[in-house]
Chain A
């Protein structure tokens, strides 16, 4: 197990380096001079030149690249070009909010999605199955910000159940949860739509297996067949899908944080984009890369927890 973990971590390194390289070159090779963009159209040539020097844009590309890679890996991400504060500190300040939000929405999505998918599969081609399928298709058709706006209108503005601005909440757990509720429900519903669909199809596949018929034949209670024999086997694809949709979840969390005005990586990245804060942007891309590599690893490790037959080599 430990050996596998070390091996997987080693394999993650080339991926990490490759993505960091992509990040670096996206920022450098695309048209548009950062210094020009920051200072605006009217800036004098001297001012642009001075800023280019300060940003290190005058150094040879290979030197810039080496500096960027070394910094990215050692945690020296430079200072924000707008606030002047260290990028790493700014990121660490808000990252708990984003982790809290995405974790809550995955849990919510699983709590809603897995039972619904199982129920739908057990009543295949009946009314409930039909309603669930259409409902989940509708759920995943919602752009995250559209659903967020609708939730905000109904539950925060009309009914006043939740705060309109989810500042993230400081203080008691109750306040914090109240601030987390609507954004998490927003992402949770979309996640539930994906999980319902994959649980349903995966369950249908498992329910057709011979050993399920055997279990029924030897008199195992129907509920035990569903939960112990079927669901456990059906969960592997579900975990894969949750891992795969992390990308969508991250994108959606950006939109959700904007709508609910909630602190987090999403608000940070949009702020950095509108203010052309290149160092902040690079730092954020490094964070996203780390997150994706870690989640891929966690996804693989979860397989073993669900299915003891999975051997780590």
Chain B
């Protein structure tokens, strides 16, 4: 990068470095994380961009308002399941719990990228069912704070032509401070299909 900087000039070099970061590894600062051109394929945990083109970015209060309103949004939680350690002792209590926004549908890890093709098809099918085939139906996608999964899920829906996609980047952490949570179980169809 140093050599290239010599030729490109300072500003261009910084932009190049920033783009390079977004594509390859997590950003090291929460400020001005750029939107990747497509789905983000880096680790899901990390600073996310402040925007998602084609979607609204919402906070917990806005989500609560939508839920209380006449056109209730479809709430889609894509947080991964808790992973049971492979070498966790037999017989020791393992009882993962997934608190979330009441009424949400939990499609664990649906924001992974890449997603196996049949998984991606199932994701779109489930959203189509949940929205009743209405591409203008309000949808809220979320997972945890600083989690790329919900950004990717939102991106997938925007690209698929959904016009009322709301991305709630603070996720469960941004919700639970001020609102009730409910423990969710995984969407049965999603679970039946198996996968990571």
Whether A and B are associated in the same complex: the answer reads no
* B residues neighboring A (CB under 8 Å): none
